[in-house]
Amino acid sequence: MKKRVLSGIRATGTLHLGNYLGAVKGMLELQDNPDYETLYMVADVHTLTTPFDVEKLRANRREVVLDYLAAGLDPEKSVLFFQADVPEHTELAFYLSSVVNIARMQHLPTFKDKVKQYPHHATMALLNYPILMAADILAYKAGFVPVGIDQEPHLEVAREIARKMNEQYGMDFPEPQRFATEGEYVPSLTGEGKMSKSVAGSYINLTDGLDAIRDHLASAPTDSGQGKVVPATGGVANLLTLVELFQGESQRKDYEKMYLGEGIHYQELKESLAQAIYKELQPIQAKRTKLAADQKYVDNVIADGAKRARALARQTVDEVKVKMGLG
Ligand code: ADP
Ligand code: TRP
């Protein structure tokens, strides 16, 4: 039997380089490996866990599908769907919540961070976030989850839930593992933390043209370009990480030598990095423009994905119901 893979990204806007390198690249790699059966969703229900605008959510879930398809996710190889179209996820989440302790959820760093960010939105939906994510994965008994390193605490919860369901109710859930990529942590352009949609100036979108990429890089902080040690954190370190991800390790080493010697000219570094990033994004953007003009095709992909995903998820949820005395 093929190993199952599930992943998703929230519908909070178009994707950025962090989402692409940390999550989508891993999704692509497993999709193209015939040993795996891949299911990729837009985590639109999860979008309700933080403040959102109804019309923006409606538009954004389509944007994410377009990004997926443009980046190379292929409905012939993967099941692509909206989480909200498979109500089995929310149903299963409730059953799973019966083996989860409240305090465990309240102490998760991801929960605490979001409460800090939105102090007036500490909702039950937010507290339930990791349980719904576990349900997304376990509904398909998926063993691999391509996501960035920031999602590891959520996967740990999913493993705990799987173990408890197996011990208490005799289920056979695998303990899902993260599938890591080279870009599992793409740093912010601001020089601090990770590239993230919620931090202005931190990211480059997959839809950004060459000029927009240049502008974003222009505001990334640098230094004099020379010193006794190459910085390990901050603006310069982050630029070098991006160089490594888009231009390779040897290019990074060349810059490091320059830093310790004659000095780096950041304008040149940023221009060649902008070119390298655009070279990777340009074909994705061309494909996206074509797809955006064919709404019917996108609708069909999503409708078909929902049907296929539901059939699989229903089997698991029915099995859970029987094992828990509900059927
Ligand atoms: P954001 O922080 O921008 O809101 P999400 O939380 O929606 O991003 O993340 C969607 C997916 O992209 C997850 O798998 C996450 O791990 C991955 N991801 C997000 N930002 C980065 C990053 N800077 N580096 C690597 N992966 C990332
Ligand atoms: N929590 C993930 C994120 O922030 C999104 C997500 C929801 C997810 N359900 C999932 C990722 C299931 C992998 C598997 O991006």
Instruction: State residue 6 phi and psi, 5-degree precision.
Output: -135, 140
How far apart are alpha carbons 265 and 272 in whole angstroms? Answer: 11
Q: Is the dihedral of CA 65, 155, 31, 252 positive or negative?
A: positive
| Residue 236 · residue 223 · CB < 8 Å | yes
Could you tell me the pTM of the whole model? Answer: 0.96
- The answer to whether the CB of 147 is under 6 A from ligand 2 is yes
Q: Compute, in angstroms, the gap from residue 216 CA to the centroid of ligand 2.
A: 27
Q: Best of 19, 20, 40, 110 to mutate for ligand 1, by most ligand atoms within 8 A of CB?
A: 19
- The pLDDT assigned to 173 comes to 98
- The pLDDT assigned to 198 comes to 85
- The answer to whether the CB of 136 is under 6 A from ligand 2 is yes
| Residue 125 · residue 169 · CB < 8 Å | no
Q: Compute, in angstroms, the gap from residue 43 CA to the centroid of ligand 2.
A: 6
- The answer to whether the CB of 41 is under 6 A from ligand 2 is no
| Residue 89 · residue 8 · CB < 8 Å | no
- The answer to whether the CB of 135 is under 6 A from ligand 2 is no
How far apart are alpha carbons 61 and 23 in whole angstroms? Answer: 17
The encoded tokens of residue 136 equal 């997304």
- The pLDDT assigned to 97 comes to 98
How far apart are alpha carbons 143 and 174 in whole angstroms? Answer: 6
How far apart are alpha carbons 144 and 17 in whole angstroms? Answer: 22
* CA neighbor of 238 nearest in space, from 279, 184, 185: 185
Looking only at Cα atoms, what is the longest distance across the chain? 73
Contacts for 220 with CB less than 8 Å, ≥ 6 apart: 189, 190, 191, 235, 238, 239, 270
* CA neighbor of 194 nearest in space, from 318, 18, 320: 18
The encoded tokens of residue 279 equal 């070279």
Residue position matching structure tokens 């959520």: 154
Q: Compute, in angstroms, the gap from residue 68 CA to the centroid of ligand 1.
A: 14
| Residue 174 · residue 162 · CB < 8 Å | yes
Q: Compute, in angstroms, the gap from residue 75 CA to the centroid of ligand 2.
A: 20
List the Cα angle 201/289/247 in 5-degree steps.
50
| Residue 69 · residue 301 · CB < 8 Å | yes
- The pLDDT assigned to 78 comes to 98
| Domains recognised in the chain with CATH numbers | 3-184+295-323 (3.40.50.620), 210-289 (no CATH)
Cβ < 6 A, ligand 1 pocket = 9-10, 12, 18-19, 21-23, 147-148, 150-151, 183-186, 194-198
Q: Best of 150, 195, 204, 242 to mutate for ligand 1, by most ligand atoms within 8 A of CB?
A: 150
Question: For each of the chain's 327 residues, which pLDDT tens digit applies?
Answer: 899 999 999 999 999 999 999 999 999 999 999 999 999 999 999 999 999 999 999 999 999 999 999 999 999 999 999 999 999 999 999 999 999 999 999 999 999 999 999 999 999 999 999 999 999 999 999 999 999 999 999 999 999 999 999 999 999 999 999 999 999 999 999 999 999 998 999 999 999 999 999 999 999 999 999 999 999 999 999 999 999 999 999 999 999 999 999 999 999 999 999 999 999 999 999 999 999 999 999 999 999 999 999 999 999 999 999 999 999
Helices (H), the chain: 17-19, 25-31, 54-71, 88-97, 102-106, 109-117, 124-127, 129-138, 152-169, 210-218, 235-247, 249-260, 266-292, 295-323
